[in-house]
Structure 1
Amino acid sequence: MADQANTAPKRKARKAHEATVTGRRQLSPDLVRLSLNSPDFVGQELEFTDHYIKLLFVPEGADYAWPFDAAQVREEQPRDKQPITRTYTIFNLNSETGDFEADFVTHGDSGLAGPWGRDVEVGAKIGFFGPGGKWEPEASYDHFVFAGDESAAPAISAGLARLPEGATATAYIEIESEDRTFEIPTGEGIDIQWVYRNGATHGTELSRIVRGAGVPEGKKTSWFVHGVAEMIKEMRRFLFVESEIPREDVSISGYWRIGMTEDQWQSSKQEFNAEIEAEEERLSTR
């Protein structure tokens, strides 16, 4: 048995890429847009609108810095000194130059990537894994409903910019308050609905507004719903149990969870999803 364990195939090492910060813009009091460039994106045509990368942050106290060999670091460093990943949607990719953009939500000095995005200087370099992604607006739908908080806004923006010809869309975007709005694609057939928390728990106002609007009638509709996990639970019940929306018409997942770091959320996400799927099954068979 020991020989079998020693010869078990190792997980394939992911290749880390490098991005350079080339610019920054303050979109709202707590939202920063960074312009970046990666030579590894030159020639890449990204087919989806929810493409993301995982930025690599070096833990405090570690004895290495970017650039580094991610596989080597994984083998040589203890778990608490291995790179910390934070996931960000990328958009406006120019495949000829490798330029792209990413938005960072900032909440003072809390968190890891938010303060970095707020303070990083032009010219700084950072490693990343990716890109990943799996959704885009398909031409077989007449209408699209987008719903999410600030974390989902970049993917919503990218989806709105790539709507099929003749399609319409409604986008519900939850932000803290009226003075936190930011630029987002608009145009004929696009209805932007800003949802203000005004101190309420993340996701509660968004769930209430989307539920109140109901399901569009007479249109083949695709749903893109992403953001805080607590909102996702409510929206899954609304879509799959109460409204009986076909699952193939819905892209829905939690990008984050209240009170958890990304690492904690990712390690518990599968269990969270299994629990709500079991509850949906129970409610559907009543």
Structure 2
Amino acid sequence: MTTAVAAPFRFFSLQVVRTRRLGPSLARVTFAGPDLRAFHSDGLDQSLSLFLPHPGQAEPAVPVELGWGSPRSSAVESGGGWWHGWRELPDDVRAVMRSYTLRALRRDADGHTAEVDIDFVLHGLAPGSGIDAGPAARWAAGAAPGDRVLLLGPAAADNRAIRFRPPEDTDLVVIWGDETAVPAACAIVEALPAGTRARVWLEVPHADDVQDLPTAADAEVTWLVRGADGGPGAALATLRGAQLPPAEHPYVWIAGESGCVKELRRHFVGERGIDRRRVTFVGYWRRGLTEEQLREQG
């Protein structure tokens, strides 16, 4: 998943305050810290970048000017000027950077952000996954209160790293996401206002990953348990066979594995005739590639 970094973004020094296992493939980590008073987001699929420590490190290793408690330069406040310094650190020292979406935030009595939740997919750690666990999954599985991270996130409520933007005339919201998009999709569905018609498909590896999803909207939510036989074409076959309610101005949001997302976009635009300007599609990951490899490809 590629995070769109646009000013005003900045770094936030945070600590884990609690963790919760949501299922075999998903874990929720709650972060807090004084820096969050400057964290602002009105987005339901807000993209973030997390910097995580390697095993044995007390905190993520970043360039000195981004260190814990150090003065924040103008480059840091805008979220820029850090990339080259971070890349120049040795591979086994440099903080692990991974992209996520905000699951939820909670404010204090003064209206400032006090806590944020981020849901992690435990790739390679769930039973029968058949893949090697990555550094972020391993970190999340062992996260404990007091663990330190660095977050690159928004200091402005409306920013370019928010993708869910249905036009005002939308009369039907259609959503599909795999487990990497479940946090954003759930935040979106929970926030839909009463009377909003929505059809939602969420794909997860295990039945125990299915979550309760309260919403005031007129939403039909279908959880798809992928299992061992669920390949890249399963989502397309499901959506092709789905009957959507009639709508003059539908809006579609699809996110997850890049190849699957592209297939679904072609389905909605080419086969269902939905205006491409009303289809938001986000590739959070690509099958067979790490985030480092994706980043190198540009």
Q: Tell me if TM exceeds 0.5.
A: yes
Using the size of structure 1 for normalisation, the TM-score is 0.79
Corresponding letter in the other structure for 1:144: V
- Cα 1:141–1:181, aligned 2, differ >3 Å: closer, same or farther? same
The normalised TM-score by structure 2 is 0.76
Counterpart residue number, 2:137: 114
- Cα deviation, residue 18, structure 1: 1.1
Correspondent of 2:280 among 246, 251, 256:
251
Structure 1 unaligned runs (5+)? 1-11, 271-286
Q: Which residue of 2 aligns with 1:102?
A: 118
Q: Which residue is equivalent to 1:93?
A: 105
Paired AA for residue 101 in structure 1:
D
Note if 1:69 corresponds to 2:69: no
SS at match of 1:260: coil
Are 1:180 and 2:209 matched, yes or no?
yes
99 and 137 in structure 1: CA distance in 2 versus 1, 3 angstrom threshold: farther
User: Which deviations, in whole Å up to 9, do the C-alpha atoms of 1:3-24 show, x marking residues without a partner?
Assistant: xxxxxxxxx9x74321211111
Q: What is the DSSP-based 3-state SS (H/G/I as helix, E as strand, rest coil) of the residue aligned with 1:113?
A: helix
Question: Is the contact made by 1:34 and 1:117 (CA closer than 8 Å) also made in structure 2?
Answer: yes
Q: Residue type matched to 1:36 in 2?
A: F
Aligned positions, number: 258
- Relative to total residues, which structure has the larger helix share, 1 or 2? 1
For residues 145-198 of structure 1, the C-alpha deviation after alignment (integer angstroms, 9 at most, x for no partner) is: 110111001111111122144211111001123232123234451111011212
Shift, 1:63, TM fit? 11
Which has the larger displacement, 134-143 or 17-26?
134-143
SS state at 2:228 partner: coil
Report SS of the residue matched to 1:151: coil
Residue range with higher mean Cα deviation, 235-244 or 78-87:
78-87
How has the CA–CA distance of structure 1 residues 89 and 38 changed in structure 2, closer, same or farther, with 3 Å as cutoff? farther
Cα deviations by residue, 1:22-53 (Å, 9 ceiling, x for unpaired) = 11111112211111114333254412111021
Q: Which residue is 1:21 aligned to?
A: 16
Contact 1:138–1:164 under 8 Å retained in 2? no
User: Percent identity at matched positions?
Assistant: 27
Supply the AA of the counterpart residue of 2:36: F
Q: Which has the higher contact order (CA 8 A, sep 6+)?
A: 2
Task: Report the counterpart of residue 223 of structure 2 in structure 1.
Answer: 194
- Which of 224-233 and 55-64 deviates more? 55-64
Partners of 1:90 and 1:207 lie apart in 2 by 26
Larger radius of gyration: 1
